[in-house]
Amino acid sequence: MEVADVLRDSGCDCTIALGGGSSIDTAKAANLIAALPEKIDSLHDYGATGSKMKTSFKRNVKFIAIPTTSGTGAEVTASAVITDPKLNLKYSFMNESMVTDLVIIDPDLTIGMPPKPTASVGLDALSHAMEVVIGVKQNAFSTPLAFDCIERIRKWLPIVYKNPGNKEGRAQLSYAAHMAESTGGAANGHCVAHAIGARYHVVHGHSAIMVIPALIRHHAEASAENIAKLADIFAVPKTGTAKEVADYVADAVLDFYKSFGFENCKKTLEANGFDDDVDQFTENLIPAILDDFKSRNWVPPIDGEEDRENLVNVCHMIYNEK
């Protein structure tokens, strides 16, 4: 809101966002807010589950984004993720007018990232791509691109983690992060990741990848064909029942993110000063998950009253991952 005030008062005709996802999302949101014809009391009212956002709202400045991380893909989306500490929510503030006019991707700008942040944003990009192939809105365009991104991240993230100055690796990760959010596929796991991040102060890339094993297990039957393809990428067996293959892949993803020094959900909560048991964890998350429109993209569904058992099971799986 403060940035929007600056834009409105300065009369500038172009904004440049240089940084990671938070910086770019701040600029995207501020660009639109500065042009709104009405006073805003709560941004949540203009979020994806609110009622006040209008397609007629248009920003009145040109917008250039220059990402300095390789993970969020914020430079290509029509939304900004808003963190609201008063509501304990992360939610999407969306309007087609928020899309950038120009994106400049220079992998050299990411070389200064230390190993742990590099891994965190890389795991966020991996989550984006995996949510495309394990979901309900994939298509002939999005799926091949997403699988390509998964393969690139699976190969290059460990290399860059160990050698942050590897230029080829940085270029591969920048490409994968950008394309993972350019596919047109719909996210689903991020509705839970945002809830965990907002309530328990978990870094976004960590919370995003933390959800993926449960996402895979939940979609074992619905996305069996694509999960079998993931088995090839992660070099695990793809024989047996759909549930068995999903378990192999989910365990491989768990091992992959742990290899970068990230812990499972329960240990992460404890490290952040929370001692919630699985039931309290679930009770805290459910309202925030259902507040996010992405909760409608799970199969079997988790967003209806009749689907509460499914949602509880998802939360329990995340909490209990070893």
Q: What's the pLDDT tens digit per position in 171-183?
A: 999 999 999 988 7
Residue among 253, 249, 273, 279 at smallest CA distance from 264: 253
Decide if pLDDT at 239 tops 90. yes
Handedness of CA 203, 206, 209, 215 (dihedral sign): negative
First-last CA distance in the chain: 41
Domains identified in the chain and CATH numbers: 2-105 (3.40.50.1970), 112-320 (1.20.1090.10)
Omega cis (within 30) before 287? no
Beta-carbon-side half-sphere exposure of residue 106 (alpha carbons within 13 Å): 8
- Rounded Cα gap, residues 234 and 242, in angstroms: 16
Which is more confident, 52 or 271? 271
CA atoms of 272 and 247, how far apart (whole Å): 28
Residues 6+ apart with CB under 8 A from 172: 152, 155, 156
| pLDDT the model gives residue 40 | 83
Q: Please calculate the CA angle 56-62-65 and round it to the nearest 5 degrees.
A: 110
Helix residue spans in 85-189 (DSSP H): 115-133, 142-162, 167-180
Chain segment 45-62, per-residue pLDDT in tens:
888 788 888 888 999 999
CA distances from 309 to 207, 301, 306, 314, 315 (A): 22, 10, 8, 9, 10
**What pLDDT, in 10s, does the model give residues 272-317?**
999 999 999 999 999 999 999 899 999 999 999 999 999 999 999 9
> Percent helix, strand and coil across the chain, each rounded to 5?
55, 10, 35
Mean pLDDT of the chain: 94
Instruction: Output the CA–CA distances (angstroms, integers) from residue 116 to 107, 113, 205, 210, 259, in the order listed.
Output: 17, 8, 10, 15, 11
CA-closest candidate to residue 71, choices 111, 127, 23: 127
208 Rama class: left (phi>0) / alpha (psi -120 to 50) / beta: alpha
Give the DSSP H or E segment for 41.
none
pLDDT of residue 313: 98
Give the separation between CA 138 and CA 141, rounded to whole angstroms: 8
Helix axes 142-162, 224-233, angle to 10 degrees: 30
Residue pair 285/311 in contact by the 8 Å Cβ criterion: no
Report the alpha-carbon distance of residue 312 to residue 44 in Å, rounded. Answer: 25
- 249 pLDDT above the threshold of 90: yes
